[in-house]
Chain A
Amino acid sequence: MGSTHSMENDKIILGDTEVLKTDLLTLNMGPQHPATHGVLRVEIKTDSEVVVEATPHLGYLHRCMEKHCEHLDYRGVIPFVDRLDYLAAMNMEMGYVLAVEKMLGTEVPKRAWYVRTIVLELQRIASHLMYFGTYAIDLGAFSPFLYAFQDRENILRLFEEISGARLLYNYIWIGGVWNDLNDEQLARIKKFLGEWEENFKKYNALVGENKIFIGRTANVGVYTKEHVEDYGLTGPVLRGSGIKWDLRKDRTYGIYDQLEFNVPVGEGLKGQLGDCWDRYFVRMQEMNESIKIIRQCLDGIEEGPVMAKVSKIIKLPEGEIYTRTECPRGELGIHIISDGGKTPYRLKVKSPCFTHVSSLPAIAPGMMIADLVASIGSIDIVLGEVDR
């Protein structure tokens, strides 16, 4: 009773007697793990429950996409780009198609841009709903997962009607989109938006304002402004740390410059600025902003074709291009080097989740294993994108 114990040089000293010699325990989280969102392996060295070092190991889903695309022509790459971040397939396609269109100088019709924006923002909502559901499961709550998937089913049903597939669409083509939205589908989207307000309040009350959720996520996994700069973090992780930067506003593409929406930023409402709760807050607010954007698009959509006239064999001029687009997980960078032929000479995908995973070793020391699970969930990684 009343003993002091200190850790020095791996020994526990109780009072005057040297009692135990301890070591760090090396644990393996993954690759098969219910809470790592895919095949990520994190090797943790822990001192009882406190993590001392965490090393992520990647490559368990390396599908050789970049090498594969060197053998495919520019249109054939689109299904492979889909399968990178499979939860935000439309945004991936948009990033790639934007790069090709910039090099070609294609004039995309106005209606195609409206349809693209509607579809992109719906995909953003679907992706954030997925985050909401799986994050709640990570922290132990099961019902939000079912609510989120029910809403997602509405969006996926619409995507299935317009593109033919539920998850991986191959819908945004070079020069526009391949199928049009008819009036009945537009009316259905409007109805979905109408039901959103109530759903959002329900989700916030169930999870966001929940005492246990706040206890698990506030002051956990804090990314400071230095982390953001050093590691090149983007997307909701960047905005959760208080920096107002959104590629749709600052490096605008498409018709985003004609639409009015805010950029939600973390404010440190429940704890330190840049913690997991802030990132959750940013993603929930982003869904609201997406609703605003879709409403404006529905009001402003014009009649017209949805596909520009593009040559049958697409050959990019010699040179290279690097395009940046805002995806639900961060900033997607597509780097294409072309030698004038039918296939890309080099296609490099800068995946936002790859850089986010590389920042895990920086915030892991000092947190408990349960906090590590909460942090990994809050940066919302998708391994298809990380490993390509």
Chain B
Amino acid sequence: MLNSIDKRVVELLNANLPEAKAVLKEVTVGHGSVTVSAEKILEVCQFLKQHEELKLRTLQVITGTDYPTVSEIEITYVLCSLEKNHELLLKVRVPRSKDVSDLNALPKVPSVVSVYAAANFQERECYDMLGVNFTGHPDLRRILCAEGWEGHPLRKDYVPAEKYLDMVINPAHKVNTEDHFFGKKLKEQMDNPKLVSWSWKDDSETTEESAGE
């Protein structure tokens, strides 16, 4: 990848912070990344921010992804430097907990708010969407979902609630599946199904034809 500093970052981390256990992921397509251990993320961020060669002084975003098959949640920190014009995808992995009822039951990651002030809202969003407890955060509460919301929506096993306060979220008379799949039904009825172009509903097509016809 263009301007990739991942290798250099791993070298520096292994030299100066070996307990962070930095691991490089190199790829040919897309972005590579550096995975560090979750307990040391604060020290890693402090190191990366003040290092003269890297100068990763800006935090762009903190995202999270849920991998239920390996029972882990992966949190990505995207750091970038305006002076040196490079960026880094820094990842940590924490074990996923099925129990999301209590703050203490959620997986814990140290908060980096003391290093990057931008992390305040980003970590709150990660907590809200995925259920990760950022220890040391000054004000960890839900930011996007409504007050009193239960559950963490971006988890893969999230079941949407039936009601919120006294409003039904998905009333049956408002769901119109009849009309929604009429493209598929139309295709089944027509003599020449290729005249109907509903590409996103085609589960049966295995050959890849080129568009622009």
Contact = CB atoms under 8 A, between A and B. Distances in A.
Interface of A: 58-59, 62, 64, 66-67, 72-73, 75-76, 102-103, 105, 175, 229-232, 243, 245, 250-251, 305, 307, 309-313, 317, 319-322, 324, 331, 333, 335, 337, 345-346, 348, 350, 354-355, 357-359, 362, 387-388
Interface string B122-146: 1001000100000000000011111
B144 A312 contact: no
A232 B116 contact: yes
Contact of A350 (B33, B61, B82): B61
B211 A309 contact: yes
Contact of B211 (A67, A245, A310, A346): A310
Contact of B76 (A76, A230, A307, A335): A335
A354 B200 CA distance: 31
B118 A230 contact: yes
B60 A333 contact: yes
Contacts of B153: 64, 67
B199 A319 contact: no
Contact of B144 (A59, A103, A313): A59
A321 B200 contact: no
Contacts of B31: 319-322
Given A76-B200, A311-B210, A387-B144, A333 B61 contact: yes
Given A320-B33, A322-B87, A229 B57 contact: yes
Nearest to B121: A358
Contacts of A345: 65
Nearest to B210: A309
Contact of A321 (B30, B143, B146): B30
Given A313-B208, A333-B61, 18 more contacts: A59-B142, A64-B153, A73-B199, A75-B200, A102-B30, A103-B30, A229-B82, A230-B116, A232-B58, A232-B118, A310-B211, A319-B27, A335-B63, A335-B76, A346-B154, A354-B125, A355-B118, A387-B144
Contacts of A305: 212
B30 A229 contact: no
A232 B144 contact: no
A312 B210 contact: yes
A348 B29 CA distance: 18
B198 to A, nearest CB: 11
Interface string B51-73: 00000011111010100000000
B87 A311 contact: no
A322 B89 contact: yes
A319 B208 contact: no
Contacts of A388: 144
Given A232-B60, A355-B121, A58 B199 contact: no
Given A232-B118, A346-B63, A73 B30 contact: no
Interface string B76-100: 1010001001010100000000000
17 contacts: A58-B143, A64-B153, A66-B129, A67-B158, A229-B82, A230-B116, A232-B60, A307-B211, A309-B212, A313-B199, A335-B76, A345-B65, A348-B63, A350-B61, A355-B122, A358-B118, A359-B118
A59 B146 contact: yes
Contacts of B118: 230-232, 355, 358-359
Contacts of B121: 58, 354-355, 357-358
Contacts of B65: 337, 345-346
A362 B117 contact: yes
Given A72-B200, A322-B78, A311 B211 contact: yes
